[in-house]
Amino acid sequence: MLVVVCVMSAACLILSYGAGALVGVIRPENAPTGPMGLVPAAQAMGRIYLASVLMIAIQFLVALRFASFVPGLVLGIAGTFFAVVATGAKAGVFLPWQMPVNMLSEVAWRLQTALSLGFGLGLVVLALAIAVLSRRDVP
C-alpha cells in the first residue's frame, strides 16, 4: 500500500510537469518560464508522503481487520471531513488526515510535529497492524 501511494505521488509530480509542457505547446504565450524547480517539488512530495504514513497505516489496519468495506470507507470519509474542518486549528496537526497537508505549512512547529508524528507513529501502527493481523484466523 505504501508503494502504491509513493508511485501515485511520483506520477502526480511527473504529470504536473507534463501538463505545464503541454500548455507551452498548445498556447506558447502561457508557457512556463524560468527554472522548473523539480528538486523542491520532489522534496515537498517526499515530506507529504512520509507524513501520510500514519494515515495509510490506520486505513490499512481497518481495511484488513474488517470483512466489510464499510468501516474503512466511513473512517476515510470521516477523517477527510474532520481534516477539512480542522485545517486552521492548532490541534489539527495531531489529526492523521491533516498531517500531509501540514507539510505545506509555513509554521515550523506544525511541519516538524506532523512529519515526526506521521512517520514515527505510522511505523509503530504498521508494526502493530502486522502483529494483530498475523494472529487472525482466516477461513
Give the model's pLDDT for residue 138: 63
* Residue located via cell numbers 505521488: 9
User: 3-class SS at 137?
Assistant: coil
Task: Answer yes or no: is pLDDT of 107 > 80.
Answer: yes
Give the model's pLDDT for residue 98: 92
Query: By the 8 A CB rule, do 97 and 122 touch?
Result: no
Of the candidates 59, 63, 13, which has an alpha carbon nearest to the alpha carbon of residue 40?
13
> pTM for the full model?
0.81
